[in-house]
Structure 1
Amino acid sequence: MKVAIMSDSHDSIPNLEKAIELALTKGAEVLFHCGDLISPFMIPVLAKFGKETHLILGNNRGDVYLMMEHLKKYPHIKFHGEQAFLDIKNYKIAMVHYPKIAYAFAVTGEYDFVFCGHTHVYEIKEIGKTLVINPGEILGKEGAPSFVILDLKTKEHERIVF
């Protein structure tokens, strides 16, 4: 099963739309957004993925109340608050915005994958049996926008830069 991992879109509608289009083209079945989506007007953009989507907050929260109102229209988007602990196809996945916390989760050995963001810098690190993925940023502030396509079964991953 292929999944898309994104983070730090920071209200960039065109870049998030392009990333979603590319994720669908690459065959992603689930999307994980690791925080800093920010404004409620980004929810309908994220919803264009049209499949199971998991969303957490980052350090730039925006209007969480209004975001929650928008999320009511899109039941395929699951909002988890600060962090998420998921079982997807028998793979244990943790999702948190901050890399240092992601590394701490990985050290426990409880997760197959931990997804994070915040730094806007692409990084993949193996800690024990856990693959920690920071997909970089959708915004494109620190470099070209990027996200990651991951095959959960094989752990093969591809950085998509656009």
Structure 2
Amino acid sequence: QGKTYIIFSKADADFSRIPEKSFKSLPRSKVWEEFGEAKLGGKNIAFCHFPEIARDLAKSQKYDLVFYGHTHKPWEEKIGKTRLVNPGNIAGLFYRATFAVYDTKTDKLELKIL
């Protein structure tokens, strides 16, 4: 039973107008407005929507991985010890539908194309 982590995008600009009860039906979920962080499998992970924020988070070297969105383009690079990852988008907007799978035990990251 894992958790669901939700980060808002530019389309959700008026975050304050989304009723809190909208997320009550999602068991074990946590919602962040600008960026979120979690420790999973001993890894420090951050996530956000915008690449500029993601790059700053990665440059801080506080995280093992930083995930971001916005561009819809699957991407992976390393900044110091931090892996900066855009899993793309599952809807197939602008690029083919993609997602990422990360294994905290093996440190293996796969960008999957549908």
Matches within 5 A, 1:2-13: none
- Superposition deviation, residue 155 in structure 1: 2.3
User: Structure 2: 5+ residue runs without aligned partners?
Assistant: none
Paired residue total:
113
TM-aligned CA distance change 1:92 to 1:144, over 3 Å: same
Gaps (5+ residues) in structure 1?
Answer: 1-49
Query: Which structure exhibits the higher relative contact order, with contacts defined as CA atoms closer than 8 Å and separated by 6 or more residues?
Result: 1
The match for 1:55 is 6
2:12 is paired with a residue whose SS is coil
Please say if 1:151 is aligned against 2:103.
yes
The structure where strand makes up a greater share of residues is 2
Q: Which stretch of structure 1 is more off in the superposition, 116-125 or 97-106? A: 97-106
TM-score (norm 1): 0.63
Q: Tell me which residue corresponds to 1:124.
A: 76
When normalised by structure 2's length, the TM-score is 0.87
CA shift at 1:75, angstroms?
2.6
Summarize the alignment of residues 1-162 of structure 1 with structure 2, pairs less than 5 Å apart.
Answer: 51-61=2-12, 64=15, 65-66=17-18, 68-162=20-114
**2:76, 2:46 → 1: CA distance?**
15
Secondary structure at 1:95's aligned position in 2? strand
The structure with the greater share of residues assigned to helix is 1
Alignment RMSD (CA, Å): 1.8
CA shift for structure 1 position 161: 1.4
SS in 2 for 1:60: helix
- How many Å separate the matches in 1 of 2:82 and 2:106? 13
Contact 2:40 2:104 in 1 (8 A): no
After the TM superposition, which parts of structure 1 deviate over 6 Å for at least 4 consecutive aligned residues?
none
Secondary structure of the equivalent of 2:53? Answer: helix
